[in-house]
Amino acid sequence: MTDLFTPITLGKVDLANRIIMAPLTRCRATVDHVPTNLMVSYYSQRASAGLIIAEATMVAKGNSAFFHEPGIYSEEQVEGWRKVTDAVHAKGGKIFLQLWHGGRACHPALNNGSVPVGPSAIAIQGEVHTPEGKMPYVVPKVLKDSDMPDILEHFTKAAKNAKEAGFDGVEIHGANGYLIDQFLRDGSNHRDGEYGGDMENRARLLFEVIDEVVNVWGRGHVGLRLSPLNSFNSMKDSDPLGLLEYVLERLSEYDLAYLHLMRGDFEQKQEGDVIQTALDSYDGNLIGNMAYSFAEATQAIEDGQVDAVAFGMPFIANPDLVTRFEKGIALAQADTTTLYTHDARGYSDYPCSK
């Protein structure tokens, strides 16, 4: 019987189990976005996951959306990440890096006054945390079609740097209202031309990024994360399942390591069965994500709905989550007040079970 503890090969990467650590922004890098020794400890503690997907990582300077999130555009950052990958590999783990551009979710107060970019001149509603306190999001500068080669170059260089840093592969962040997702969905993309309008044009940037990253890594080492229903960062689409179906039918040609699909909405506003849509439209490995319990994840694997399940919050307070699942040990609860602080408390100090 296939379950969460059954080994699996995703693309060309062999995993010891199907319990995936979801990417979790934790803001423990330096102010210059360099990975720290705290991050080495944190990730190596969780190396028993079948695969660690490291947190959203800036592909280009000047695109910070969180403050103290890591980057992968400088040699110092590459060296910092290499310490992480070496530590994870020393414990027998596998780790991908999530390549990310924040787009309009970035803020001038986090980027030396630089105005963020996006597909259209539409700001995110609400406020963002900055070193100067909460501030409203700003209207982004609209990217011109002629700017797109530079965006692609950022992803290409980041993919090369991730390879140099020793990762086993990379995940392209196409979810949660960041740049690629902003182009995909018609609630944030009101442009015309080659990158706006119909689904084919709105998906153009996504597939151009995939082309570039696969060209660096080769088939079987690249994953993609999508969140068709998630309204986080003021995201919406007039036909989310139709858009997903269109994207998935094209994705099947790419021989990705996996598709990492967020099945719901952080704010529970948009509904739809994205897992079934994926089963109907996608020919490849599928990782399910968002609020799976151990029991539900086990059933989803057994029923063939997904090939693996990514857990987020449970991995924060349970570095030995795989062991706890295997032995039926109760899970510790994460301290949510320390999710985005900058020291070891609530990060690398959670104990393993005895």
Catalytic positions: 178
Rounded Cα–Cα distance for residues 136 and 120 (Å): 17
In this structure, are residues 177 and 137 in contact, taking their beta carbons and an 8 Å threshold?
no
In this structure, are residues 216 and 160 in contact, taking their beta carbons and an 8 Å threshold?
yes
Rounded Cα–Cα distance for residues 122 and 70 (Å): 26
